[in-house]
Amino acid sequence: MAEPTGLRLFLKAIRARSYPRLKSVFRNRAWLFTEITLPLLGTVAMVYVYQALRAPRAWLGFVVLGGAMMAFWQNVLWSMGTQFYWDRAEGNLEIYCVAPSPLTGILLGMALGGIVISVTRALAIITVSSLLFGVGYRAGGVLPALGVFAVSLAALYCLGMLMASLFLFYGREVWHLAEAFQEPVYFLSGFYFPVRTLGALVGGAASLIPLTLGLDAIRQLLVPGTPVFFPIGWELAAVAVQVPIYAVASQLALARLEYQSRRDGRLIVRTS
């Protein structure tokens, strides 16, 4: 039997690692419920704050779109960033490392499966909150917004791959680290308000998170009256540049940390 080529092995690793995630889209009902309900409740709470302050109805779209993007950030944090940590605790990481398939393929498989899971959650959040609060969107902006969304997701999940490598170095504190990355990122990326409100300095620094500019561009396309942080073209270009940067950085980090983990015996450290 012929040995599989490097490319074929790479693609098979992607397919194999994304498979359990794709299967879990609807099979794990407890997670389905949690992953939709948590961001939905957060979105509903913020919509009521907008209503309490008598904000124009069109602005509720800011919150709903931010709430939907929250599903992606939570997925990147908990199912990408901390995944190798869980895998190590369960003994999977050492199997990944002794298998002939590259770790990059495994990370990409995780990302692809995670994107599919999060898209289903985000769609549910947008549908339910838009119907609940009667939020409308600019129909002509839907197709371009989908394009911006795709580029943003590519950059975001490349960042997730980088985080997966970096988080591997942590022990019990990884849980707290992931939690610490939640609210600050909701704030910096302007999940519940247009990022322009943060000002040039903070908003500019927050643009290192792909969701910041991606979400702002999507809002400009879909929600009338969105304050412009940067023109859509610039924001799209900035997010597109982040894709190769985070992809290369994740590969470098992965190679470095895999070597260091092998040397220090961290690949087989169990934290439970």
Partner 1 sequence: MSVLASSALTPVRLWRGFASATRLGWTISSNWTRPFVFLIYTVLRPVSGALILVVMYRFITGNRGSTVAYLSFLVTGTAFWGLVQNGLAGLANGMSEDRGFYRMLKYVYLAPLPFPLYLVGRGLAQLAVALVSAGVVLSLATIALHLPIDPLRVNYPMLALASALAMAAVLSIGLTYGLLLLGARDSHGYGEIGAQVLYIASGAIFPIAVLPHPLAAAAALSPLVYWMELVRRSLLGGQALRMFPDLSDGTVLLRLLLTAAATVVLAALAFGWADRNARRRGLIDQEANW
CB of 269 to partner 1, least distance (A): 15
Helices 103-133 and 60-75 pack at an angle, to 10 degrees, of: 150
The site map against partner 1 for 132-171 (x = CB under 8 A) is: ---------------------------------------x
Report the residue from 10, 17, 21, 42 that binds partner 1 according to the rule CB under 8 A.
42
Phi first, then psi: give them for residue 53, nearest 5 degrees. -90, 10
Q: How far apart are CA 209 and CA 152, in angstroms?
A: 10
Q: How far apart are CA 84 and CA 166, in angstroms?
A: 10
The site map against partner 1 for 2-31 (x = CB under 8 A) is: --------------------------x-xx
Who contacts 56 (Cβ-Cβ below 8 Å, separation ≥6)?
225
* CA-to-CA dists, residue 38 to 42, 124, 171, 210, 215, angstroms: 6, 12, 26, 22, 19
CB of 59 to partner 1, least distance (A): 7
Q: How far apart are CA 241 and CA 100, in angstroms?
A: 31
When asked if residue 184 is in the footprint of partner 1 (CB under 8 A), the reply is yes
Window contacting partner 1 (CB under 8 A); options: 102-110, 120-128, 180-188, 252-260: 180-188
Stretch 198-217 residues interacting with partner 1 (CB under 8 A):
198
Q: How far apart are the first and last CA of the chain?
A: 41
When asked if residue 127 is in the footprint of partner 1 (CB under 8 A), the reply is no
Please identify, using beta-carbon distances, which residue of 4 and 184 lies nearer to partner 1. 184
The site map against partner 1 for 47-86 (x = CB under 8 A) is: -xxxxxx-x---x---------------------------
CB 178, CB 85: distance < 8 Å: no
Report the residue from 116, 197, 260, 269 that binds partner 1 according to the rule CB under 8 A.
197
Window contacting partner 1 (CB under 8 A); options: 13-21, 106-114, 150-158, 179-187: 179-187
Q: How many residues bind partner 1 (CB under 8 A)?
A: 38
CB 213, CB 124: distance < 8 Å: no
CB of 52 to partner 1, least distance (A): 4
Phi first, then psi: give them for residue 179, nearest 5 degrees. -65, -35
Q: How far apart are CA 177 and CA 163, in angstroms?
A: 11
Stretch 243-262 residues interacting with partner 1 (CB under 8 A):
none
Going by C-alpha positions, the residue among 50, 102, 42 that lies closest to residue 70 is 42
Q: How far apart are CA 61 and CA 72, in angstroms?
A: 17
Please identify, using beta-carbon distances, which residue of 169 and 193 lies nearer to partner 1. 193
Task: List contacts with partner 1 (CB under 8 A).
Answer: 28, 30-31, 34-35, 37-38, 41-42, 44-46, 48-53, 55, 59, 171-173, 176, 179-180, 182-184, 186-187, 191-194, 197-198, 272
